[in-house]
Amino acid sequence: MKLHKLHKNVLPGFAPTIGFTIFYLSLIVLIPLSALVFRTSTLGWNEFIAIVTEPRVVASYRVTFGAAIVAASVNAIFGVLLAWVLVRYTFPGRKIVDALVDLPFALPTAVAGITLATIYSPSGWVGRYLEPLGIKAAFTPLGITLAMIFIGLPFVVRTVQPVMEDIEVELEEAAACLGATRFQTLSRVIFPALLPSILTGFALAFARGVGEYGSIIFIAGNMPMVSEITPLLIITKLEQFDYPGATAIALVMLLASFFMLLVINLLQKWSRRYAE
Amino acid sequence: MRNNIGTGRLQTEPALVRWFMIAVALVFVGLFLMLPLAAVFSQAFEKGVSVYLESITDADTLSSIKLTLIAAAIAVPLNLVFGVTAAWAIAKFTFPGKNLLITLVDLPFSVSPVISGLIYVLIFGLQGWLGPWLYAHDIEIIFAVPGIVLATIFVTFPFIARELIPLMEAQGKEEEEAALVLGASGLQTFFRVTLPNVKWGIIYGVILCNARAMGEFGAVSVVSGHIRGMTNTMPLHVEILYNEYNYAAAFAVASLLAFLALVTLAVKTIAEWNMQRQFKDN
């Protein structure tokens, strides 16, 4: 133990690096974020509650969180399928598809936004086939969901994929030797091992969808009460110089993302325990 | 039962199921990823090459490209220095509150881009904490370039640090200790031992940080004020052109950003291969 302690102190530079880390973190992230909390605290409690429970604001929560849940669910299903196909099967173009999964991380949100709005507009590449079916995608909550599916997909695939790669084939062989059918092996052996990572991916995609702005506003139509997302409402209030309104709603969003961060951390702890 | 005897069969699904699943996955990828990517370039060239070239050499477009490059050229190096410093402190030492610090470093990723811009308006804006003082001294931050740079630094803050921390942790400290015992100075150890080991991790982090820095929209939109030719970055310029129904020009500028995204994906994939190879070699 003593030796271990001596051992540790050999590397130099802890004090300056941790000092700079905390200084830069405070300057760029912590102090600016605390400004939001302090600015809201100058509002009275009743005033704060009145702002964040206005019908138009509540409608925006419903649109934002509702679309994010649907999008994250779609991503959980297709993301797991995609990860499975990429890990377990071989087919031509697999490596390209694998690299392309990260496109939503790399493509600027405004580019994704105008492109999705164009594709799903009534005369667009996909929209023209939806129109005769009576499905309106652009400028409706469906469009918001589609944009959230686009930006959330890599979160599920990239969270589930490494866990899938680590599953030991011996487990499956053991299950099969003990007489399990393939379906039983998948549902009783593989699925439980993947579940924590699927939930983590779902939570990450959901959190990203809730905060997303750029890829959504072009396709959303932004009609108050119908297809107006909360981040847009913050900007609208800001443009009307309604600072108390903007900060109060932003604080609600911030608290929601802190809560999601907590859930994600707990899920990751759970999946790590599962891995051991 | 018969299927279980023999080999390959029990570890996979029947061929029909396999092909069906591959087909569904590919249709999904085609519809949600490939189609939008193809649409950007198709729309950009819809009115012909001359309109395309005209759009990307327009004076306002060029000034938006310049501003985007400036913002990235400031934000990426700052976050690189921070990322390397933070990774050294967090990965090579044990101290109380380490997990909390890692969570805080990741924080900007979980904050909505709109809020990332708003917090700087609350500090530096005219109605903000420092607003009146800045106004009295004629210093412009919000609706000016410094605000754009600050918002860009915030949203790209975690990229390099979060890539390097696990990488440096996995590599341990033995090599650095050996160097120090052999008489190398701290900085020599860092530049000759640590840095070469995490080279591809740094490239990976920098390329993703740069992609986000050049592509950020929400946060920058809040602080920019959208002054054409002055405080418009490329993504903001795309928005303006699109809202003016100038689709060909909007997609022309967007195609430049989409091309950047493709380069980013390529470099990222190469960095991943190299990191895996390096990991196997050790």
Q: What are phi and psi of A239, to 5 degrees?
A: -70, -25
For residue range B39-91, what is the model confidence (pLDDT) as tens digits? 999 999 999 999 999 999 999 999 999 999 999 999 999 999 999 999 999 99
Q: What distance in Å separates the CA atoms of residue B20 and residue B89, rounded to the nearest whole number?
A: 49
The answer to whether the Cβ–Cβ distance between A231 and B114 falls below 8 Å is yes
Per the CB < 8 A criterion, the answer to whether B80 and A24 are in contact is no
A105 touching B (Cβ < 8 Å)? yes
Of the pLDDT bands very low, low, confident and very high (cuts 50, 70, 90), residue A153 is: very high
Which of left, alpha, beta for B97 (phi over 0: left; psi -120 to 50: alpha)?
left
Per-window interface: B 197-226 vs A, CB < 8 A: 208, 211, 214-218, 221-222
- Tracing tokens 């913002």 back to the chain, one arrives at B71
Instruction: Please report residues of A whose CB lies closer than 8 A to that of B13.
Output: 182
Q: What distance in Å separates the CA atoms of residue B91 and residue B84, rounded to the nearest whole number?
A: 10
Q: What letter does residue B146 receive in the DSSP assignment?
A: H
Q: What distance in Å separates the CA atoms of residue A188 and residue A186, rounded to the nearest whole number?
A: 6
- What is the pLDDT, as a whole number, of residue B1? 35
Burial of B262 (0-12, 13-18, 19+ CB in 10 A): middle
Name the minimum distance, in Å, from the CA of B117 to any CA of chain A.
Answer: 10
Q: Report the predicted TM-score, pTM, of the whole model to 2 decimal places.
A: 0.91
Q: What distance in Å separates the CA atoms of residue B146 and residue B152, rounded to the nearest whole number?
A: 10
Exposure on the CB side of residue A149, measured as CA atoms within 13 A: 23
Average pLDDT, integer, range B22-37: 95
Q: What distance in Å separates the CA atoms of residue A61 and residue B273, rounded to the nearest whole number?
A: 42
B110 touching A (Cβ < 8 Å)? yes
Compute, in degrees rounded to 10, the torsion defined by CA atoms A53, A56, A61, A62. 110
Q: What letter does residue A276 receive in the DSSP assignment?
A: -
Per the CB < 8 A criterion, the answer to whether A112 and B239 are in contact is no
Q: What distance in Å separates the CA atoms of residue A151 and residue B157, rounded to the nearest whole number?
A: 20
Which chain A residue has the Cα nearest residue B112?
A211
The answer to whether the Cβ–Cβ distance between B215 and A107 falls below 8 Å is yes
A213 touching B (Cβ < 8 Å)? yes
Domain ranges of chain A: 1-42, 44-275
Indicate whether A11 pLDDT > 80: yes
Per-window interface: A 214-233 vs B, CB < 8 A: 214, 218, 231-232
Share of chain A above pLDDT 90, in %: 70
Per the CB < 8 A criterion, the answer to whether B80 and B158 are in contact is no
For residue range B143-165, what is the model confidence (pLDDT) as tens digits? 899 999 999 999 999 999 999 99
Q: What distance in Å separates the CA atoms of residue A43 and residue A183, rounded to the nearest whole number?
A: 57
Domain ranges of chain B: 1-44, 48-281
Of the pLDDT bands very low, low, confident and very high (cuts 50, 70, 90), residue B14 is: confident
- What is the pLDDT, as a whole number, of residue A275? 61
Instruction: Please report residues of A whose CB lies closer than 8 A to that of B1.
Output: 179
Average pLDDT, integer, range B202-223: 96
A164 touching B (Cβ < 8 Å)? no
Which chain A residue has the Cα nearest residue B179?
A11
Q: Which CATH class is domain A44-275?
A: mainly alpha
Q: Which of B42, B28, B27, B116 is nearest to A150 (CA)?
A: B28
Name the minimum distance, in Å, from the CA of A187 to any CA of chain B.
Answer: 13
- What is the pLDDT, as a whole number, of residue B4? 40
Q: Which of B143, B111, B97, B152 is nearest to B124 (CA)?
A: B143
Of the pLDDT bands very low, low, confident and very high (cuts 50, 70, 90), residue B2 is: very low
Q: Which of A222, A142, A246, A224 is nearest to B114 (CA)?
A: A246
The partner residue sitting opposite B36, judged by closest CB among A91, A119, A235, is: A119
- What is the pLDDT, as a whole number, of residue B239? 95
Which chain A residue has the Cα nearest residue B254?
A111
Per-window interface: B 56-75 vs A, CB < 8 A: none
- Which CATH number is associated with domain B48-281? 1.10.3720.10
Q: What are phi and psi of A243, to 5 degrees?
A: -65, -45
Q: What distance in Å separates the CA atoms of residue B125 and residue B134, rounded to the nearest whole number?
A: 9
**Reported ipTM:** 0.90
The partner residue sitting opposite B265, judged by closest CB among A103, A153, A243, is: A103
Q: How many CB pairs under 8 A join A and B?
A: 273
Which chain B residue has the Cα nearest residue A147?
B32
Q: What distance in Å separates the CA atoms of residue B143 and residue B147, rounded to the nearest whole number?
A: 7
Write the CB contacts of B129 (distance below 8 Å, at least 6 apart in sequence).
Answer: A35, B122, B123
For residue range A45-77, what is the model confidence (pLDDT) as tens digits? 999 999 999 999 999 999 999 999 999 999 999
- What is the pLDDT, as a whole number, of residue A149? 97
Per the CB < 8 A criterion, the answer to whether A67 and A148 are in contact is yes
- What is the pLDDT, as a whole number, of residue B62? 95
- Tracing tokens 């399928």 back to the chain, one arrives at A81
The answer to whether the Cβ–Cβ distance between B21 and A114 falls below 8 Å is no
Among B12, B27, B33, B193, the strongest candidate for a mutation testing the A interface, having the largest count of A CBs within 10 A, is B33
Q: Of residues A272 and A90, which shows the higher confidence score?
A: A90
The amino acid occupying position B239 is E
The answer to whether the Cβ–Cβ distance between A214 and B217 falls below 8 Å is yes
Name the minimum distance, in Å, from the CA of A134 to any CA of chain B.
Answer: 19
- What is the pLDDT, as a whole number, of residue A9? 57
- What is the pLDDT, as a whole number, of residue A271? 76
- What is the pLDDT, as a whole number, of residue B3? 40
Q: Of residues A149 and B138, which shows the higher confidence score?
A: A149
The amino acid occupying position B74 is I
Indicate whether A265 pLDDT > 90: no
Per-window interface: A 75-104 vs B, CB < 8 A: 78, 81-82, 84-86, 88-89, 91, 97, 99-104
Would you call B37 helix, strand, or coil by DSSP? helix
Q: Which of A254, A164, A261 is nearest to A203 (CA)?
A: A261
Among A40, A65, A115, A167, the strongest candidate for a mutation testing the B interface, having the largest count of B CBs within 10 A, is A115
A169 touching B (Cβ < 8 Å)? yes
Q: What distance in Å separates the CA atoms of residue B222 and residue A27, rounded to the nearest whole number?
A: 20
A58 touching B (Cβ < 8 Å)? no
A106 touching B (Cβ < 8 Å)? yes
A2: tokens are 């003593």
For residue range A83-128, what is the model confidence (pLDDT) as tens digits? 999 999 999 999 999 999 999 999 999 999 999 999 999 999 999 9
CA angle A15, A18, A23 (to 5 degrees): 115
The partner residue sitting opposite A17, judged by closest CB among B11, B39, B89, is: B89
Which chain A residue has the Cα nearest residue B175?
A11
